[in-house]
Amino acid sequence: MPDARTIIAALRDRKGLPGASAEWFADGLASDGVTDAQAGAFAMAVFLNGLSEAERVGLTLAMRDSGQVLDWALPGPVLDKHSTGGIGDCTSLLLAPALAACGAYVPMISGRGLGHTGGTLDKLEAIPGYRTDISTDDLHRLVADTGCAIIGATGDIAPADRRLYAIRDVTGTVESIDLITASILSKKLAAGLQGLVLDVKVGTGAFMKTMDRAEALAKSLVATAEGAGCRAAALITDMNQPLASSAGNALEVLEAMETMTGNAVNQALWDVTVALGAEALVLGGLASDEEDGADQVDEALTSGRAAEVFGRMVAALGGPGDFVDRYPDRLPAARVVRDVPAPRAGFVTEIDAEALGHAVVHLGGGRLRGGDRINPSVGLSDMMPIGEPLAAGETIARIHAASDGDAEAALAAVIAAYRIGEDDPEEPPLIHDRIVA
């Protein structure tokens, strides 16, 4: 019978992590049979010595099986998407209903903001009445009736990951690709998925700043998901600038709704959503190839069918029944709105997207400490992209703040995040690479 000390010692001495050891340790994390010190030592041993592909699969499955694993009996494939996090990344709000409109079923278990990046649950909770905490029975009913539900994880979903995640945060082991992989996939696979598309961000606003790191994570995620029995593909997408022109919870919902309803389409947001959706439909057998999948997702968005599904989901989860028709009136607005003037004429040559994310957090749109209350109305909008020509004094972004003092602090942060030069720069591609098994 394994025990914590022998498992940790084997990892320390590069003797590996057999499946039985992974199962024992995951059960110990979930049941508190493993101490915090032992969990920290385990995480550090994995961080320093790594895991093989088979060991990553074993740890992921053990963490998945530490809690409830959902089972579905539906007439279409159960699909989902995961993003590694970025600024202005509200693709989930468009993608889940678009996939449902194409015949998929999407139990999207999402998270809250982490560090400088926004969280899908925080964005949806900007909608008055929207509930992200529902029972498993309600989730089954809602997905069957509506086609999609974007909610938070219950306490029964991958409890081993919840414990290990907190330990990683305080032991300097957050960056381990093995542990990131097991953390992401244990929760996603517990949703009973048949296909998963992964959006791995790279650039100044991403956790993975370089292509080497992003590729390593994407390959690990795809190989591990496939090894665990779930079809998967990954796109490495750009985060050297915000994806949408807004960053902040209600502001991103507003932009997603404008795009979904065709009132003011953000083309970059649309294009990344369509590309991710195409991959998911192929994985689920609903599209013959990526071109067919892209056409289907594009039609679901253009026709308004995705918006209709989104409206039904919002109403079913406690939000306004007329949200799609009245979303500008239903979302909270900030008390102070201030334009950020360009300090000089030229082109936007570079953006520190992470700095923009931190500016939103400091406005109150994210958490500086666990338990902080979020102000859903604050953030940034109308952010100029790389390559945009500017006159001196022209607006490069608009600040939405709770007070004049907050707006003044954000003004300096936004100006510092933008680089303006004389030469028209080459714009970064939206999608850098595609990783498949």
Please give the residue range of the domain that contains residue 33.
Answer: 4-50
Per-residue pLDDT at 26 exceeds 70? yes
Among 269, 250, 258, 26, which residue's Cα sits nearest to residue 159?
26
Specify the CATH number for the domain of residue 90. Answer: 3.40.1030.10
On whether residue 132 sits in a domain, the answer given is yes
Looking at the predicted structure, is the pLDDT value of residue 378 above 70?
yes
Catalytic residue among 116, 123, 168, 231: 168
Q: Are 146 and 189 contained in the same domain?
A: yes
pLDDT at 170: 80
Q: Does residue 158 contact residue 347 with C-beta atoms inside 8 Å?
A: no
Point out the catalytic residue in the list 120, 171, 245, 246.
Answer: 120
Active site residue 186: no
Check if 120 is active-site.
yes
pLDDT of 112 reads: 77
Global pTM reads: 0.95
The answer on 379 and 249 residing in a single domain is: no
187 is catalytic: yes
201 is catalytic: no
Q: Annotated catalytic residue: which of 187, 201, 219, 312? A: 187
Active site residue 84: no
Q: At what angle do helices 249-261 and 91-101 cross, to 10 degrees?
A: 40
Q: Which of 60, 83, 154, 181 is catalytic?
A: 83
Residue 56, in any domain of the structure: no
pLDDT bucket at 117, cuts 50 / 70 / 90: confident
Residue 433 lies in a domain: no
> Which band of pLDDT confidence, cut at 50, 70 and 90, is reported for residue 335?
very high
- Is the CB of residue 97 less than 8 Å from the CB of residue 148? yes
**The one catalytic residue among 116, 162, 188, 219:** 188
Tokens 């020509």 -> residue: 389
Residues 252 and 344 in one domain: no
Question: CA of 156: how far to CAs of 68, 81, 260, 418, in Å?
Answer: 5, 21, 33, 43
Give the CATH number for residue 354: 3.90.1170.30
- pLDDT for position 148: 98
Q: Are residues 354 and 405 in the same domain?
A: yes
Domain boundary among 306, 326, 346: 326
* Calpha distance 13→311 (Å, rounded): 54
**Are both 18 and 163 inside the same structural domain?**
no
Q: What's the whole-number mean pLDDT along residues 184-190?
A: 95
Shared-domain flag, residues 21 and 111: no
Shared domain for 248 and 306, answered yes or no, is yes
* Catalytic hit among 132, 171, 181, 183: 183
226 and 191 co-located in one domain = yes
Q: Could you tell me if residue 24 is inside a domain?
A: yes
Could you tell me if 311 and 323 are in contact, meaning their C-beta atoms sit under 8 angstroms apart?
yes
Q: Is residue 225 part of a domain?
A: yes
From the list 65, 66, 80, 199, the catalytic residue is: 80
pLDDT at 370: 65
Q: Quick check: 116 pLDDT over 90? A: no
Identify whether 436 is part of a domain. no
Do 141 and 240 fall within a single domain?
Answer: yes
165/169 Cα distance (integer angstroms) = 6
Report the mean per-residue pLDDT for the chain.
95
Query: Residues near 142 by Cβ (< 8 Å), separated by ≥ 6?
Result: 134, 149, 313, 316, 317
* Burial category of 347 from C-beta neighbours within 10 Å (exposed 0-12, middle 13-18, buried 19 and up): middle
Q: Interior CA angle at 404 toward 401 and 406, to 5°?
A: 55
Same domain, 260 and 388: no
Instruction: Read off the pLDDT of residues 380-422 as tens digits, 9 standing for 90 and up.
Output: 999 999 999 999 999 999 999 999 999 999 999 999 999 999 9
Residue 188 annotated in active site = yes
Residue 71 within a domain? no
Q: How many domains does the chain have?
A: 3
Question: Can you tell me the distance from the alpha carbon of 235 to that of 254, in angstroms, rounded to the nearest whole number?
Answer: 25
Of 272, 305, 326, which residue constitutes the final position of a domain?
326
The domain boundary, picked from 284, 306, 326, lies at: 326
Q: What is the dihedral of CA 239, 240, 245, 251, to 10 degrees?
A: 50
Name the residue among 142, 144, 147, 108 with its Cα closest to residue 317.
142
Averaged pLDDT, 68-74: 96
The span from the CA of 102 to the CA of 283, in Å, is 13
Q: Is 219 a catalytic residue?
A: no
Are both 31 and 86 inside the same structural domain?
Answer: no
183 is catalytic: yes
User: Does residue 373 surpass a pLDDT of 90?
Assistant: no
The active-site residue, picked from 21, 56, 60, 81, is: 81
> Does 99 lie in the same domain as 135?
yes
Question: In this model, does residue 166 exceed pLDDT 90?
Answer: no
Q: Would residue 94 count as lying in a domain?
A: yes
Tell whether the model's pLDDT for residue 368 goes beyond 80: no
**Range list of H helices, 15-135:** 19-31, 36-49, 53-64, 91-101, 120-124
